[in-house]
């Protein structure tokens, strides 16, 4: 009897994570086909909505102007009115990409450096080992602080960092007047859709 119970527990600990991984993979693969609001669209009438909230003006993904905008926020919305279900489905893609490619990059680069240092030895090996020691000894908290400092500088002085945007049609903005905001950036030549905030151009 104890052996059967142990096998049952082992089966659950195997199949439950396997089913969850399958659900995440399926969600990531089919997120673009779901009839849900676009993950970055904001519903200003339903900020921090509770699960089950009905909306009449949700902006559905892959929908034309004549599409029905009625929708039920099954998991509610965040503080900016974005659908939680849509963001979970699309966020699974990023999580899987990071989980797969981060170790893969480490394996490839680490393998190449290890082969080079093991084959040539000498000064090259000493240099590679010393460089790795420096990287491993560098506190992750300090690197995280540097990232936050860069983000703070970008928000405080966006005109100095406007060249970092991957879209030349996007301008940074700050609260003010006479400009429609989509999130935290303003797009040239196109009014923001379904947005009630306003700001000033900074570039």
> Which tokens go with 12?
């659950």
pLDDT at 145: 83
Q: Where are the beta strands (DSSP E) in 53-162?
A: 53-55, 71-73
Residue with tokens 């965040």: 78
CB 178 within 8 A of CB 198: yes
- Helix then strand then coil, % of the chain, to nearest 5: 55, 15, 30
Tell me the two tokens of residue 21.
């991984």
Q: How far is 196 from 193, CA to CA, in rounded Å? A: 9
Tell me the whole-structure pTM to 2 decimals. Answer: 0.57
Q: What is the pLDDT of residue 159?
A: 55
* Rounded distance between C-alpha atoms, residue 93 and residue 36, angstroms: 16
How far, in Å, CA of 4 to CA of 56, rounded? 53
pLDDT in tens, the chain (203 residues): 466 666 666 677 888 888 999 999 999 999 988 889 988 888 888 999 999 999 888 888 887 766 777 899 999 999 999 999 999 999 999 999 999 999 999 999 999 999 999 999 999 999 999 998 888 887 777 777 888 888 888 776 555 554 444 444 444 444 444 444 444 444 444 444 434 444 443 43
- What pairs with residue 6 in β-bridges? none
pLDDT at 152: 83
Residue with tokens 């096998």: 7
**C-alpha separations of 171 from 97, 139, 156 in Å:** 28, 34, 14
What pLDDT is recorded for position 86?
Answer: 92
DSSP states of 45-70: TSTTPPTTEEESS--BTT--TTS---
């Amino acid at each position: 009897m104890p052996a059967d119970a142990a096998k049952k527990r082992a089966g659950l600990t195997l199949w439950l994570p396997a089913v969850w991984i399958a659900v995440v993979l399926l969600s990531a693969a089919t997120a673009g086909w779901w009839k849900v609001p676009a993950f970055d669209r904001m519903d200003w009438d339903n900020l921090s909505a509770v699960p089950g909230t009905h909306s009449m003006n949700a902006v559905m993904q892959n929908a034309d102007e004549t599409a029905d905008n009625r929708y039920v926020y099954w998991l509610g919305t965040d503080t900016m009115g974005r659908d939680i279900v849509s963001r979970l489905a699309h966020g699974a893609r990023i999580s899987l990409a990071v989980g797969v490619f981060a170790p893969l990059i480490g394996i490839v680069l680490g393998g190449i450096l290890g082969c080079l240092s093991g084959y040539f030895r000498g000064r090259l090996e000493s240099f590679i080992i010393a460089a790795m020691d420096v990287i491993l000894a560098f506190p992750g908290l300090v690197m995280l602080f540097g990232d936050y400092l860069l983000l703070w500088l970008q928000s405080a002085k966006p005109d100095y960092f406007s060249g970092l945007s991957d879209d030349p049609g996007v301008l940074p903005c700050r609260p003010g007047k006479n400009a429609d905001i989509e999130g935290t950036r303003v797009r040239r030549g196109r009014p923001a859709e379904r947005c009630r905030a306003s700001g000033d151009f900074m570039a």
